[in-house]
Structure 1
Amino acid sequence: MKILIIDEMHLSIVDLLAKEGHQVDYEPKITREEILQKVQNYEGLVIRSKTPMNRELLEKATQLKFIARAGAGLDQIDLEYLEQKGVKLFHAAKGNRDAVAEHAIGGLLALFNQIVKADSEVRKGIWDREGNRGHELKGKTVGIMGYGNMGKSFAKRLKGFGVEVMAYDKYKRDFEDDSVKEVIWEKVKAEADVLSIHVPLTPETRNFFTYEELKSFAKPFWLINTARGEVINFDTLNRALDEGILRGAVLDVLENEKFQKFDAAQKAAFEKLADRDNVLFSPHVAGWTFESYEKINQVLVKSIKKAFL
């Protein structure tokens, strides 16, 4: 097949696809306008998140047989249209699930032990032991929302910490094992000391975490979000932190990740959030390790090969 790659990828993707007999055009700097002009010539598209795979684009892709998404999120893809046209969709959650799990653990431990604050102070000559007293993870109850590739990998990483791990997934059943206890959402809200979010962005999950939802948790808790920022907005985070509903947060994703496109209200809310010692940020890199960068290619090529034997 003739395949167009429109985003930056680990260059191994070209050789992996070529070895399977495909003709590959690697054009990471291509613009949306250029994609629209030439997409009708390709049977496969390999993408990240450069541009939405919406009806405008897909209707021009008259020969398209598959889209391969180098990542987990599918919220920028018109899934209904692909299903109607019989276009296959592959994604690479298995390629970066370990990276996401390790990042979530690292962020949680850094937050519990005030690593960022302590490091900053010591560099300034401040030796404040009491002000940097930490919390132990052992003995805590960790709740997981969403038990797909990411949630399951996160649960496995927690096994050695002496914590109780429980997970809720609206669309999965009978997944309980020695890593996790399967529970209803109300059970998570009643017992969690930590909540880690591992759900895709859908109309159902967008802004799911309202102030009222957070307030309905039985006790203050720490929040980890390595999924999608749009599940909770800045104002809700600030209010919950102000009122002690949240004890802290690890945020790899934000409701708006383009700082230059903040409106005045978002800018003020983000600045307030960023001024907090009990909030840790990273720029949507939880699944973006040197290892996952290459593993994602292997997962995608394997899926393509299996589907078109």
Structure 2
Amino acid sequence: MKILLLDKNHPLITDQLLAKNFILEEDFTSSYDEVCRKIKNYDGIIIRSRIPLDKNFLEQAKNLRFIARVGAGMENIDIPVAQNLGIQLINSPEGNRDSVAEHVVGMLLILMNRLFIASQEVKNGIWLREENRGDELLGKTVGLIGYGNMGKATAKRLSGFGCNVIFHDILPGLSDEYATQVSLDELKERAEVLSLHIPLTEETSYLIDKKFISEMKNGFYFVNTARGKNVETKSLVEAIKSGKVKGACLDVLEYEKSSFEKLETENEDLQFLLESDKVIVTPHIAGWTIQSKEKLAQVIVDKILAQFSDHFQSIH
């Protein structure tokens, strides 16, 4: 089985797959068109986000048996086409759920306690106490949208802070000791903190818009570690200015490139987010820790070996 690696990942992927007699080829620089021309020669691809695997690409991948995405989101892959072609889709949300959960809690603590602002002020010779009075997580009702790997890990952490965690998910029966499942209407009625843990699909594109925000009963803190295009930035900015959104923690932005390498758009709304003391922005790093790099890779290897064990067993 011949596998093409299109992005740099933890070396354990190559080490462990080579040990199982897979044939690996690395290509971290070829363009989309160049990869299209040779993709018919491979049985599998391991990717992050560098190249979109669209209909044109997949139809040229005549021998492709699987696509393994080192990460959670699969929006860079034309999933219906891949499924129709019988290509197995593999991802690894288990690998960075803990880093995402810690990032959510970290951003909330920094924002709600004005830690970054107060630190910068003191470093500049400004000593303000009353102006930097914080807001506690204890007792807050936190509403999560999406209760998969990321949502559950986040609920576990927040429950330890004495939060009342509720969530909405399209699948039923997911309540556990950390959070209670509710309807979307009930979440909008009760939540004081709102955090997104959903993929980017047609249904979730710009889910958080002017209408959604207006239906939230309480002023609330907003966290997005999911995808930038889950949120209509213009509406979020308006809500921050009006005070409906008390503050925002954004690890992802509507204006990112699809490869997540950088921002591709600059406008007044983005500038507001970057300048506001009510907003924390990080460069799509919520799932990006030393530990998650290794765990994401290990999950992918384990899943490939589980799916295609017939390959390496037949060799011996």
TM-score range for the pair, normalised by the shorter chain length: over 0.9
**Which consecutive segments of 4 or more residues in structure 1 shift more than 4 A?**
none
Aligned equivalent of 1:302: 302
Change (3 A) 1:245 1:291: same
Give the AA of the match of 1:245: K
Residue 88, structure 1, aligned to residue 91, structure 2: no
1:14–1:26 CA contact under 8 A, matched in 2: no
In structure 2, the CA distance between the partners of 1:260 and 1:182, relative to structure 1 (3 Å rule), is closer
Q: CA deviation at 1:260?
A: 5.9
Task: Identify the range of structure 1 (39-48 vs 233-242) with the bigger mean alpha-carbon deviation.
Answer: 233-242
Q: C-alpha separation between the residues in 2 aligned to 1:294 and 1:218?
A: 41
| Alignment match, 2:224 | 225
Once the two structures are TM-superposed, the CA of residue 272 in structure 1 deviates from its matched residue by 1.5
Corresponding position: 1:277 with 2:280? no
Match of 2:264 among 258, 261, 265: 261
Q: Which amino acid aligns with 1:252?
A: D
Structure 1 residue 30, shift from structure 2 partner: 2.7
C-alpha separation in 2, matches of 1:177 and 1:233: 31
Q: Is the 8 A contact 1:234 1:273 kept in 2?
A: no
Looking at structure 2, the residues matched to 261 and 195 of structure 1 have their Cα atoms a distance apart, in angstroms, of 27
The answer on whether the counterparts of 2:91 and 2:300 sit within 8 Å (CA) in structure 1 is yes
Q: What's 1:7 paired with?
A: 7
Secondary structure of 1:77's counterpart equals coil
Which residue does 1:21 correspond to in 2? 21
State the shift of 1:234 in Å: 2.1
- Number of residues paired by the alignment? 305
Secondary structure of 1:24 counterpart: strand
Contact 1:142 1:192 in 2 (8 A): yes
Amino acid at match of 1:305: L
How much does 1:143 deviate?
Answer: 0.5
Deviations along 1:269-299, one digit per CA (max 9) or x if unpaired, are: 1111222101000000000111111111110
Alpha carbon RMSD of aligned pairs, Å?
Answer: 1.1
Alignment of 1:61-80 (within 5 A): 61-80=61-80
Q: CA deviation at 1:25?
A: 1.0
The structure-2 alpha-carbon separation of the partners of 1:267 and 1:195, relative to structure 1 and needing over 3 Å to count, comes to same
Partner of 1:238: 237
1:156 CA drift (Å): 0.9
Partner Cα distance (1:37, 1:150) in 2 = 36
How many percent of aligned residue pairs carry the same amino acid?
42
Match of 1:38 in 2: 38
Amino acid at match of 2:63: Q
Q: Which residue number in structure 1 is paired with residue 314 of structure 2?
A: none
Contact preservation (8 Å) 2:99, 2:286: yes
TM-score, with normalisation over the residues of structure 1? 0.96
Deviation track 1:223-282 (CA, whole Å, cap 9, x = no partner) reads 0000001011221111011111100000000001256632xxx51111112221010000
Q: TM-score, normalised by structure 2?
A: 0.94
CA contact (8 A) 2:48 2:71 kept: yes
Q: Distance in 1 between matches of 2:146 and 2:7?
A: 28
Which one-letter code corresponds to 1:99 in the other structure?
A: S
Q: Deviations over 1:55-103 (max 9, x none)?
A: 1111111110000001111111111111111110000100111110110
Give CA deviations for 1:201-234 in whole Å, capped at 9, x if unaligned.
0011101111111011111000000000101122
Q: What runs of 5+ residues in structure 1 fail to find an aligned partner?
A: none
Alignment of 1:198 with 2:201, yes or no, is no
What residue number does 1:142 align with?
Answer: 142
Deviations 1:28-58 (A, max 9, x none): 2232222112111100000011111001111
Q: Structure 1 CA distance, aligned partners of 2:299 and 2:212?
A: 36
Residues 87-128 of structure 1 show CA distances to partners (whole Å, capped at 9, x for unaligned) of: 100001001111101101100111111111111111111111
SS at match of 2:96: helix
Counterparts of 1:273 and 1:65, CA distance in 2: 43
Contact 1:166–1:180 at 8 Å: present in 2 too?
yes
Give the structure 2 partner of residue 248 of structure 1.
247
SS in 2 for 1:261: coil
1:134-153 deviation line (CA, Å, top 9, x unaligned): 01110100010000110011
